[in-house]
A and B are shown apart, each in its own frame.
Chain A
Amino acid sequence: MKFRGKIVDVACLNHFSRVVTTISKLTKMCVLRLTPDNLFFVLSGKVGNGGVSMWCELSQANFFDEYQMEGVSSEDNEICLEVTPENISRALKTVQNAKAVKVKLTKKHCPCLTVIAELPTLSSINRVVTHDVPVDVIPQRLWHEFKEPDMPDFDVSIYLPPLKTMKNVVDRMKNLSNFLVIEANLNGEMNLKIETDLVSVTTHFKDLGNPPWGDDASQDAGPSQSRDPDTMAEARVDIRRLQQFLMGQQVTPSRAMCNIVHQRVLHLILLHEDVSLQYFIPAVA
């Protein structure tokens, strides 16, 4: 198992560190999967983390100037590590002005993801800072837990309003209730609702548009195509999870959408050039 990547471009470094920071806001621990072409940050839905799961996919070529990896074997050319994204985020943040940053898998006192940065100085010798972020290597027999989640058989898919607007609404609602109902239809309408004994609040969004899922989601085409465009599909979710998702946004996505499986799951998707982030929040009764 070997891994070594090098980032020279400041914009790439900045972008990468924002992606990692976004991840760190969503979860304390996650799995980093390295393949020859991609990096994945994965959180599989376990009870411990409130049943949420996450899948973030980056194409290495868009971030790294050099990227070498050697997986466990030539058939399974992958490396799977459990990491604390916050540590990586912190390491990257302190080296924003570096001339070059190397990320390596190293064996120190324990397996580490080592971030080495050459910092600019006035002297002839560069200042070098090394951050050793301890990681756990995940054995191959557990890899199956970290495969890409299937696209859920959603009832409604809809584009999200500007995340900032949504965040402001959700932040206010959080003061009133612990749960939020998100509902949407195929007519481009979405509502955020809270209901308590004392108060019911609903925020209506309209003309959001529904993404065409033609070929990709062909197997799902059945239910959503024949669906009455005005019928709402809804999911009641833990408001903190949704808030966490909206709060942590460091990447301004070019596309933000969500899929709702009626009373089952809320599936949020952010697309930004080469990065895609999917976040699943289970619905509660």
Chain B
Amino acid sequence: MHCVVTGGNVKVLAKAIHSLSRIGDELYVEPQEDGLALRSVNSSRSAYACFLFAPLFFSRYSVPNRNNFRCKMAIKSVQAVFRSLASLEKTVEKCHIELDEQKNRLTFTLHCKHGLLKTHNLSFQDSESLQAVFDKDSCSNVFRAQPRLLVDTVMHFPPSLEEVTVSVSDERMWVRNHVEEEAEQSKAMLTELCLASDEFDHFAIQAHSSVTFCLKELRGLLVFAESTGLPVSIYFDEPGSPVVLSVTDSVLEGNFVLATLTDDPGLRKNSSRRGHTQPPPPPDDFMNDDMDSYLIAMDTSIVPGPSTAGPPTPPLAGSTCSKRPVATNHRTRIHSEEEEEGEEEGDSEKAEDSDRPPNKKFRSLFFGSVLPPSSQMNTQPVVSQEVLASDSEDDSQDE
């Protein structure tokens, strides 16, 4: 692999790496025919980010001879290459990224002004491809906004805040901070921001829904979006299915996939008792049999699916059926400015949803080692959903 990045694009690349560093500790590098993919995932596998830089982004781009080369490395060491963003723009004229196959090193060479040459040799580990399974085009709610709007929105929330809830109606979007427990709620300051649809470049609602996700990763993407001035698109469906944030222009695409909270405190209580027991990996048709996918699969089985059919799998959630009453009088803060209204609506909806396995935290995302990326991406969601739902069924038998 040999890529050359010149001029302002060096900064774009550096910003992308910085925003990926908000997600996870490792950077997955995969030179593909259609461009260089940089990816990262957080330790709980509830957030995933990917930047794809098209060959045109580079002034020179060649993929390695050895096909499907992939590697991962500590993101901190890559960040160190682009440490000072401010001076980067002024001093660096071009950046070479080369793979030294003999020494197993990935070499970043920065050509600076006055003939200064900075070379970083980074060691790496082989890895499988990291790919979250998501389909943003099927999402019912789609928005696009200038980064400034989102930056101004996020600004109202304290840096310590972990999660925000986004609710939408036909003409408005509400963003509020998410407070976990009732007890905390009486102490915590609640902030709510209401945005009108015409502040967005694009505002398409099919379902009035409300999702809760981590603010940290959104902030990470905004760092990138703001510096490049690219509009941010937001795609989401219902609580529990991931929200996708993306930036696109002709030579690059960035997608951040964030798990959302199932806003279901009745059930949540239930799962907290279970603690962090790792559910066993789902059956083999789920994923390929490599290390990464195994880890991912472990997490994935927390993910409840809507379907109840499927082969029985080991315990997770006894709660789902028996706890139905709990679920019906829980607090929901769903799509409404009038809380009372929201509660009623939420309840009636949730009665059905209570069939889902309990969930303390975010539903993890579906990941796979996608060797044949396109085909698997399409089939996977279906498979995994079945598997997951069966988890919960089995659980009830267990208790």
Contacts and interface: CB of A to CB of B under 8 A. Distances in A.
Contacts of B371: none
A30 to B, nearest CB: 16
Given A94-B155, A131-B191, A110 B186 contact: yes
A132 to B, nearest CB: 4
Contact of A132 (B191, B193, B194): B191
A128 B188 contact: no
A108 B189 CA distance: 11
Contact of A124 (B156, B187, B189, B198): B198
A84 B158 CA distance: 15
A131 B190 CA distance: 6
A109 interface: yes
Given A124-B198, A127-B199, A129-B156, A91 B192 contact: no
Contacts of B192: 129-132
Interface in B155-176: 155-156, 158
In this complex, the member of A91, A110, A123 whose beta carbon has the largest number of chain B beta carbons within 10 angstroms is A123
B198 to A, nearest CB: 4
B199 A121 contact: yes
Nearest to A131: B191
Contacts of A110: 185-186
A196 to B, nearest CB: 38
A239 interface: no
B159 to A, nearest CB: 11
B196 interface: yes
A127 B189 contact: no
A123 B196 contact: yes
A119 B193 CA distance: 10
B383 interface: no
A125 interface: yes
A249 interface: no
Contacts of A132: 189-192
Interface residues of A, number: 24
B189 A87 contact: yes
Nearest to B175: A129
Interface string A96-140: 000000000000111010000001011111111111111000000
Contacts of A126: 196
A130 B190 CA distance: 8
B195 interface: yes
A122 B188 CA distance: 31
Interface in B167-222: 185-196, 198-199
A194 to B, nearest CB: 36
A241 interface: no
Contacts of A123: 196, 198-199
Contact of A130 (B186, B188, B191, B199): B191
A128 B194 contact: yes
A167 interface: no
B298 to A, nearest CB: 37
A15 interface: no
Nearest to B198: A123
Contacts of B152: 119
Contacts of A130: 190-194
B262 to A, nearest CB: 21
Contacts of B193: 127-130
A264 interface: no
Contacts of A129: 156, 191-194
B317 to A, nearest CB: 29
In this complex, the member of B152, B158, B191, B195 whose beta carbon has the largest number of chain A beta carbons within 10 angstroms is B191
Contacts of B198: 123-125
A90 interface: yes
A14 to B, nearest CB: 17
Contact of B199 (A84, A122, A131): A122
B199 A109 contact: no
A127 B152 CA distance: 11
A133 B189 contact: yes
In order of increasing CB-CB distance, the 10 nearest A-B pairs are A125-B196, A132-B190, A123-B198, A130-B192, A129-B193, A110-B186, A94-B156, A87-B189, A128-B194, A123-B199
24 contacts: A87-B189, A90-B158, A90-B189, A94-B155, A109-B185, A110-B185, A110-B186, A121-B196, A123-B198, A124-B196, A124-B198, A125-B199, A127-B194, A128-B194, A129-B156, A129-B193, A130-B190, A130-B191, A130-B192, A131-B191, A131-B192, A132-B192, A133-B189, A134-B189
Interface of A: 84, 87, 90-91, 94, 108-110, 112, 119, 121-134
Interface of B: 152, 155-156, 158, 185-196, 198-199, 339
Given A122-B199, A125-B198, 20 more contacts: A84-B189, A90-B158, A94-B155, A109-B185, A109-B186, A110-B186, A123-B196, A125-B196, A126-B196, A127-B193, A127-B199, A129-B193, A130-B190, A130-B194, A131-B190, A131-B191, A132-B189, A132-B190, A134-B186, A134-B189
